[in-house]
Structure 1
């Protein structure tokens, strides 16, 4: 069996500082102590290539020197916060004493300072851990009122909570509330604290709570707060209600805000117009767009864009033309002459509404130059062209976007980072991966800070490269390394794509690097996404057994929190691949897990022994049976005994199976129908089993047991296996009267396979052609014939086992 987890790989893992199993939401969540050095080998040496023959001298001078990549930093302090959370979980086997308050305070400061410095979002697991630490420090008798955490510490964490995470927000809401309550308990609340709470509640699905708070606050401080403060309080709540589509409450709060003195400025105008435009509410969208903005300021460019899209969707081109004419009039009259966003909006409308071409747009840009000769800040520039490229991208028209790129060069505009990102986006949409990579190379050397949307585009590029029919792995590594050097944690979907692509290319080292660098910084939900991808890979029958085992080994190494159900599915899949030895290893790994919730249950043992029934392997069976004997958490019952009988019969150990049968009959629970079928199948391969089967059969008849088909047929096959052909035929003929069902085609196949001699098989063939010709033809049509271990002919029909 081929495996990539060689000694060299294990040494790399150790050198990279192994993972520490710590408990958070899941008791076996893993966090890396430090982010390891990554991808120290040149790309060419990592990607599988056709072997090239070189002399020693040529090889020496042809080697690429390893790229010196920046060491990625860990998120300082988080390990201690997480360790505290682990210690709080009651019943966890590895629970330990929590860190001291001073250690927690220092970890808190380091963690949130790092998040603030790099602008990183706090994921849900991190928010929960920090929340638990705050509660501990606030309520600990030795640490009254959380005195070791300063107001600045709390406010730093509060600001970090306002950057939305990739997963769910519940813990962010609870943590934001607790920070606010702690500041309130200390009597140090400021208006900025209240505004931050309103923002958090509004953007995380609690806009109604935010509305109630702001209205109550406004009633008590109606005339005490300045206008700017009132504006900052109402606007996030209004946005939140719009986001949650609470129209009634949304309109009511707008009225309250206007009463409080909030003016109808371009921001509020944009929120109102965009809300109804996205709902395709023609009357309300027109009403709010046409409302006079204070001091006759122009609408925001995003509002213009949304209302244009709305008009085109809803057949309101005539009304849109009026808006466009009014826009052009105010630009040319000089009223909005210095508003560059309005000029940019006019170019967009000319393209989308009027369908103007490049020549007309070029002329309009020159007109804008003439109107703003003395005001360079209002002249068209590369951002103007970016706004035009964006509409082509949103329209999914790469040809138009390329023409705008060409026009930009003609006008002498130097492309910037956003230009290349837009180019990258529309080329990915057009599945032009070569062109997309060229755009990526152009932006690679630009030293700029990337926004979340731009990071999402680069993640999309990696996924597109991985999803190509023939991925170019050097390109995947190029983009991945670029982001890693910038301390960017890839999206879970991207990590999934990278891992799956490299597993298919047997590049296990790259999978290890990727998992080491990213998964330790994910929340429990994000880790589960990557974990599920590995489980699905292991269950995919199209993947080779060697690759599946490599994937499982990585799953076990990096995701020790993998649930029992997923592990059992992998075990079953290995049995289906006829690899009972691997299935036994997976069972042993489950048995060795420290977390009791992930250890094998009685049902897991049953599943394993049933698997042995499908894929007999005596060594594997004995290994797990010995584990069962030493497992004090398992109380054997009939179900488990049945499974053990199955395993021993499948491994051709019928007498040991009959010993287990005696344990069943002596147990308080007694045998089940499945027990009866299994013991009859044990009698089938036992030398004196026919007499024992007759004895059991007579006992069942005396007790007037209602015998189901599978038990009846097991007795029939036992008689056939011991050469009692006439008796077996009689039982088969009487089967419909006895159990209400005639023999199925595969029943006939099992009967045929059980007969001990070629002569009896030939006699049965003649007889069954006369008695059950249709069923026999169906068997021969569906199942092929083969030779068994003893050289006797037989049909490839599998007889299922069920405990």
Structure 2
């Protein structure tokens, strides 16, 4: 059974009672508003009520709730009040909530997402710009609070959307710390100001603002140099290295070399950390000349390169067929009394670059032991990575056996690597066996490395050709029990599988446990996939409705345009009632920005014209009457005519024609086509169409073809065969062009009774044989309850 979580926050935050509101900057960033005082009822199809006959069955499973991160609800509450210009919550509570949130992020090593970074920024700005109402120290932020928040900000993916949120937060924290140090130096914090500046540089270079980091460093140089322009302390090299790392990460080669030149002119030494930046940068771009040049450049005091630099060099040499160049380097390294980490690199080189097999590796391991370096789990990891880089899973399995023979205890990293090559080979059975061993390991729940491979495993299970739903449920339950948050892509795969198997409660559990922890960008990835699932015509209507109900419940921030696409998909499924329910849900949304526009009203009414439903039409009309934000104009009256004509209420439809003719705007060409289409369905003798046509002729208007054939349809709809013949024959004189196949087809379809249709067909074949032949060829006919008709679709547009 999947574990039951007890906290009740998620639906209180994201239910319809607490909708999102756009931020002043125009981007809807805040996740939710905390207005909910009661829980909405689940909107998926529910199990039937228990009766006497099923009283001994197990009760329906309760929906699990996510454990909201400590302090996160405070951030949401503050943002909700801020967007409404309402009085913020109690300051003491805000400070306490922020401290809880930052402490949790530090202790759990869980990253900030972009939405959380934005929310923390808004709350911090408020706390910084306002003063406590009392003199209680606990009600204000301390240096330590700001410092810890700055440190926690660095715990986020480097490549992420909207990284400027992290940059803005980091800059604001640093400036406040700098200001406080200037006003009252923190003597107790040794090197505090220096450390804060390093943290700022780390944030800027990590989140794509390396050029700003360089600018800040240039401004900071005077404090780092002595009167001769030389660095006061070698420790300042780390700041310089951070700037170089950022420029390399962003691929800014010219700026990287320029910054290197400036730093060396200031006395900075070419140390291993800088050497690694340059070699890794050029090796990653497979620039052979530059990589060799920088690798061979002497280091300060003949220090050896870092181990990671050797690894990058080895990979580069294999990719670019430069083993002849790298081999003497590695052989020299082997003869220089290598340390244990270097021995591990030598093992990696032997397998990847020299293509050594198991027996050769055993010999290297024996030499290691003779040199006093015992092979351990890190050594085995290097061997496994080399085999994976060679895409040789059999060799990797052999190295596992070697490790076992040497008594090397397997650590989670080994199982993770093993699952990687098994999943790459689509060996789901082998991967599951490895997973079982990994989950029984002591470090399973504490090892953050596990999350990546387990997400990959679940995604492959969920997209396999043969789906094992029970295994998917078991693995999902295990990960939930260990509080492992799934990636958005994994949640998408799981949700689609659960929807396919009609496991709505598992969809609810998955969404409620994970999406509350996502940023808006990550949530959008999940909601977009669910929308596409709903739009797939192969998905049954019942499943689409269930999926939409969950979308509405869990993603109140879903854009109106996507909701309109869902509405139109139900029209295409010939379910106008469901389409109008979606529109009604938009209409009642708590956020005015999510409510329908005039164009959306028109699109819904047009849909009702194509797929008629009288009750839904009246409901839509009533919503329009009560919506004071939507102006009534010709296009809206056109749409109402279309909807009521589709519902068969001709008299009401003609009332809107009266509104159009009495308005200052007057009718459009679409209005003319629509009113003629309405007249086509009048069951009694009526002169409306003729009256409108006569006015058109008196005004000497240019008549588009779709208006003319609509007029012909109006005459034909009342059985006026002879009159419609005369109108068609007189087209050249009255409108300046002759009939087309649509003119004849619309007229034929509108004529009541097979006798009139036969009369018109005989006449058309004689008068316009080529046009009639094209009509029969392109459209074709079928028998209907009201007689034979050509396959002509007339989608009236307002």
Class of the TM-score when normalised by the shorter of the 2 chains:
0.7 to 0.9
Q: For the structure 1 residues 486 and 295, does the alpha-carbon distance in structure 2 shift closer, same or farther, using more than 3 Å as the test?
A: farther
Checking the alignment, whether the CA contact within 8 Å between 2:64 and 2:513 is kept in structure 1 is no
Q: Which residue of 2 aligns with 1:632?
A: 628
Q: Which residue of 2 aligns with 1:182?
A: 176
Checking the alignment, whether the CA contact within 8 Å between 2:283 and 2:291 is kept in structure 1 is yes
Q: Which residue of 2 aligns with 1:390?
A: 385
1:251-330 map, 5 Å: 251-260=257-266, 262-294=268-300, 296-330=302-336
Q: Which residue of 1 aligns with 2:68?
A: 74
Write the distance in 1 (CA, Å) between the matches of 2:672 and 2:8.
53
| 2:91 pairs with 1:101 | yes
- 1:688, distance to aligned residue in structure 2 (A): 4.4
- Tell me whether 554-563 or 131-140 shows the greater mean CA deviation: 131-140
- 1:531, distance to aligned residue in structure 2 (A): 1.5
Q: Which residue of 107, 110, 124 corresponds with 1:117?
A: 107
- Tell me whether 632-641 or 403-412 shows the greater mean CA deviation: 403-412
- 1:404, distance to aligned residue in structure 2 (A): 2.7
Q: Which residue of 2 aligns with 1:39?
A: none
Checking the alignment, whether the CA contact within 8 Å between 1:683 and 1:689 is kept in structure 2 is no
Q: Which residue of 2 aligns with 1:349?
A: 349
Q: Which residue of 2 aligns with 1:340?
A: 340
Counterpart of 1:19 in 2: which secondary structure?
Answer: helix
Checking the alignment, whether the CA contact within 8 Å between 2:29 and 2:520 is kept in structure 1 is no
| 2:219 pairs with 1:216 | yes
Q: For the structure 1 residues 691 and 776, does the alpha-carbon distance in structure 2 shift closer, same or farther, using more than 3 Å as the test?
A: same
- 1:752, distance to aligned residue in structure 2 (A): 2.2
Checking the alignment, whether the CA contact within 8 Å between 2:418 and 2:434 is kept in structure 1 is yes
| 2:587 pairs with 1:591 | yes
Q: Which residue of 1 aligns with 2:370?
A: 370
Q: Which residue of 1 aligns with 2:423?
A: 428
Write the distance in 1 (CA, Å) between the matches of 2:215 and 2:382.
39
Q: Which residue of 2 aligns with 1:444?
A: 439
Q: Where do 5+ consecutive residues of structure 1 fail to align?
A: 1-10, 35-47, 49-55, 373-377
Checking the alignment, whether the CA contact within 8 Å between 1:33 and 1:74 is kept in structure 2 is no
1:782-801 map, 5 Å: 783=779, 785-790=781-786, 792-801=787-796
Q: Which residue of 131, 147, 154 corresponds with 1:162?
A: 154
1:733-744 map, 5 Å: 733=729, 735=731, 743=739
Checking the alignment, whether the CA contact within 8 Å between 1:645 and 1:679 is kept in structure 2 is yes
Q: Which residue of 2 aligns with 1:204?
A: 207
| 2:523 pairs with 1:527 | yes
- 1:250, distance to aligned residue in structure 2 (A): 1.2
Q: For the structure 1 residues 720 and 86, does the alpha-carbon distance in structure 2 shift closer, same or farther, using more than 3 Å as the test?
A: same
- 1:739, distance to aligned residue in structure 2 (A): 5.6
- 1:115, distance to aligned residue in structure 2 (A): 0.8
- Tell me whether 479-488 or 619-628 shows the greater mean CA deviation: 479-488
Q: Which residue of 1 aligns with 2:189?
A: none
Checking the alignment, whether the CA contact within 8 Å between 1:138 and 1:144 is kept in structure 2 is no
Counterpart of 1:390 in 2: which secondary structure?
Answer: helix
Q: For the structure 1 residues 775 and 470, does the alpha-carbon distance in structure 2 shift closer, same or farther, using more than 3 Å as the test?
A: farther
Q: For the structure 1 residues 221 and 309, does the alpha-carbon distance in structure 2 shift closer, same or farther, using more than 3 Å as the test?
A: closer
Q: Deviations over 1:183-228 (max 9, x none)?
A: 1221245211111011111111111121122233222231497645
Q: Which residue of 2 aligns with 1:45?
A: none
1:541-620 map, 5 Å: 541-620=537-616
Q: For the structure 1 residues 291 and 201, does the alpha-carbon distance in structure 2 shift closer, same or farther, using more than 3 Å as the test?
A: same
- 1:771, distance to aligned residue in structure 2 (A): 4.8
Q: Which residue of 1 aligns with 2:43?
A: none
Q: For the structure 1 residues 786 and 318, does the alpha-carbon distance in structure 2 shift closer, same or farther, using more than 3 Å as the test?
A: same
Checking the alignment, whether the CA contact within 8 Å between 1:324 and 1:346 is kept in structure 2 is yes
- 1:745, distance to aligned residue in structure 2 (A): 4.5
Q: For the structure 1 residues 580 and 344, does the alpha-carbon distance in structure 2 shift closer, same or farther, using more than 3 Å as the test?
A: same
- 1:649, distance to aligned residue in structure 2 (A): 0.9
Q: For the structure 1 residues 794 and 141, does the alpha-carbon distance in structure 2 shift closer, same or farther, using more than 3 Å as the test?
A: same
Q: CA RMSD in A?
A: 3.1
Write the distance in 2 (CA, Å) between the matches of 1:491 and 1:33.
28
Write the distance in 2 (CA, Å) between the matches of 1:562 and 1:70.
23
Checking the alignment, whether the CA contact within 8 Å between 2:352 and 2:389 is kept in structure 1 is no
Checking the alignment, whether the CA contact within 8 Å between 1:690 and 1:718 is kept in structure 2 is no
Q: Which residue of 2 aligns with 1:29?
A: 31
Write the distance in 2 (CA, Å) between the matches of 1:225 and 1:509.
63
Write the distance in 1 (CA, Å) between the matches of 2:406 and 2:726.
96
Checking the alignment, whether the CA contact within 8 Å between 1:592 and 1:599 is kept in structure 2 is yes
Write the distance in 2 (CA, Å) between the matches of 1:656 and 1:32.
44
Write the distance in 2 (CA, Å) between the matches of 1:411 and 1:435.
23
| 2:128 pairs with 1:138 | yes
- 1:676, distance to aligned residue in structure 2 (A): 0.5
Q: For the structure 1 residues 323 and 739, does the alpha-carbon distance in structure 2 shift closer, same or farther, using more than 3 Å as the test?
A: farther
Write the distance in 2 (CA, Å) between the matches of 1:689 and 1:159.
82
Q: Deviations over 1:25-49 (max 9, x none)?
A: 5277337999xxxxxxxxxxxxx9x
Write the distance in 2 (CA, Å) between the matches of 1:795 and 1:14.
59
Counterpart of 1:18 in 2: which secondary structure?
Answer: helix
Counterpart of 1:632 in 2: which secondary structure?
Answer: coil
Q: Deviations over 1:62-93 (max 9, x none)?
A: x99x99x999642111111222122222xx4x
Number of residue pairs the alignment of both structures matches: 753
Q: For the structure 1 residues 705 and 117, does the alpha-carbon distance in structure 2 shift closer, same or farther, using more than 3 Å as the test?
A: same
Q: Deviations over 1:575-617 (max 9, x none)?
A: 0110000011111111111111111111111111100011000
Counterpart of 1:30 in 2: which secondary structure?
Answer: coil
Checking the alignment, whether the CA contact within 8 Å between 2:314 and 2:326 is kept in structure 1 is yes
Q: For the structure 1 residues 252 and 133, does the alpha-carbon distance in structure 2 shift closer, same or farther, using more than 3 Å as the test?
A: same
Q: Which residue of 2 aligns with 1:249?
A: 255
Checking the alignment, whether the CA contact within 8 Å between 2:29 and 2:118 is kept in structure 1 is no
Write the distance in 1 (CA, Å) between the matches of 2:397 and 2:680.
76
Write the distance in 1 (CA, Å) between the matches of 2:165 and 2:612.
49
Counterpart of 1:700 in 2: which secondary structure?
Answer: helix
| 2:619 pairs with 1:623 | yes
Q: For the structure 1 residues 741 and 382, does the alpha-carbon distance in structure 2 shift closer, same or farther, using more than 3 Å as the test?
A: farther
Q: Which residue of 1 aligns with 2:50?
A: none
Q: For the structure 1 residues 485 and 298, does the alpha-carbon distance in structure 2 shift closer, same or farther, using more than 3 Å as the test?
A: farther
- Tell me whether 217-226 or 643-652 shows the greater mean CA deviation: 217-226
Checking the alignment, whether the CA contact within 8 Å between 1:459 and 1:490 is kept in structure 2 is yes
- 1:454, distance to aligned residue in structure 2 (A): 3.8
Q: For the structure 1 residues 329 and 539, does the alpha-carbon distance in structure 2 shift closer, same or farther, using more than 3 Å as the test?
A: same
Q: Which residue of 1 aligns with 2:748?
A: 752
Checking the alignment, whether the CA contact within 8 Å between 1:649 and 1:657 is kept in structure 2 is yes
Checking the alignment, whether the CA contact within 8 Å between 1:350 and 1:356 is kept in structure 2 is yes
Checking the alignment, whether the CA contact within 8 Å between 1:198 and 1:233 is kept in structure 2 is yes
Relative to the length of structure 2, the TM-score reads 0.88
Q: Where do 5+ consecutive residues of structure 2 fail to align?
A: 37-46, 48-53, 187-191
Counterpart of 1:793 in 2: which secondary structure?
Answer: strand
Checking the alignment, whether the CA contact within 8 Å between 1:300 and 1:341 is kept in structure 2 is no
Checking the alignment, whether the CA contact within 8 Å between 1:31 and 1:79 is kept in structure 2 is no
| 2:418 pairs with 1:416 | no
